[in-house]
Structure 1
Amino acid sequence: MIAVDTSMITDLLIGVLALLGSLCFLVAAVTMSRAGDALTRINILSVATGLGMMLFILSAYVHELTTGFTWVATLMALVALGATVVVTTVASVTLARAAYRADGRLDPLTAYDDIADEG
């Protein structure tokens, strides 16, 4: 039977989570450079920020668990995850509305325009 070192598994998990978070930002950066308009760029950025930051937070939490479980670390991770959801959602909507109002040009591939229908 092969003995598995738990510190190696946790280090691997920490690294994989951090790399996946970095990959989210890299893919978003490449995709944003190809986007047709500001609204599409903001939409891409909001997904990368939400998912990438959550993966970074989980990576930091697993790293914190290597010193032992504490309720404080768990509470901090949960608050950080919740704050990430709220902040990225509000920020992306605010940025999208500001970009739309500053420059009304949309990519011709945009199928519909909900904001124009509001007013």
Structure 2
Amino acid sequence: MGDSVISDLLIGVPALLGSLCFLVAAVSMNRARDALTRINMLSVATGLGMMLFIVAAYVDDLTGGFRWSGLIMALVAFGATVVVTSVASITLARAAYRADPRLDPRTAYDDLSGVE
């Protein structure tokens, strides 16, 4: 196999897996019965899917040769993704919970209200 095929695989596979994360999350969110479950599924997709996209972008950047600035940008993007997806998920979940949504009857325990 040539270098081009290997680099295409190293770029394409993480990008496709990231896309698959978002697709699975979208289908799962459509099937979820309450807002809190939907937000929980979205947070996993954004966290893992975006990390895979960052890996694909970094490998694409490596095809032009190694640069320290590219590595630093990838590491900053990883850190920012962790922070932003965590804070966004918590903020969305709190807003949805405070709106007093109807929870799915299969929800066994509500940690925030303390009701079993």
Using the size of structure 1 for normalisation, the TM-score is: 0.93
The 3-state SS of whatever aligns with 2:104 is coil
Is residue 103 of structure 2 the alignment partner of residue 106 of structure 1?
yes
Cα deviations by residue, 1:54-84 (Å, 9 ceiling, x for unpaired): 0001000000000000010000000001100
Gaps of 5+ in 1: none
Tell me, in whole angstroms, the C-alpha distance in 1 between the residues paired with 2:108 and 2:75: 37
Q: How does 1:27-106 map to 2 (within 5 A)?
A: 27-106=24-103
- Whether the 8 Å CA contact 2:11–2:57 is kept in 1: the answer is yes
Q: 1:6 maps to which residue?
A: 3
Could you say what the CA RMSD is over the residues aligned between the two structures, in angstroms? Answer: 0.8
Cα deviations by residue, 1:44-63 (Å, 9 ceiling, x for unpaired): 00000000000001000000
Tell me, in whole angstroms, the C-alpha distance in 2 between the residues paired with 1:109 and 1:77: 40
Cα deviation, residue 41, structure 1? 0.1
Cα deviation, residue 104, structure 1? 3.5
Tell me, in whole angstroms, the C-alpha distance in 2 between the residues paired with 1:9 and 1:43: 35
Using the size of structure 2 for normalisation, the TM-score is: 0.95
Aligned length: 114
The 3-state SS of whatever aligns with 2:98 is helix
Which of 17, 20, 23 matches 1:20? 17
Tell me, in whole angstroms, the C-alpha distance in 1 between the residues paired with 2:81 and 2:29: 21
Tell me, in whole angstroms, the C-alpha distance in 1 between the residues paired with 2:5 and 2:101: 52
- Percent identical among aligned pairs is 75
The list of structure 1 runs, each at least 4 consecutive aligned residues, that deviate by more than 6 angstroms after superposition, is none
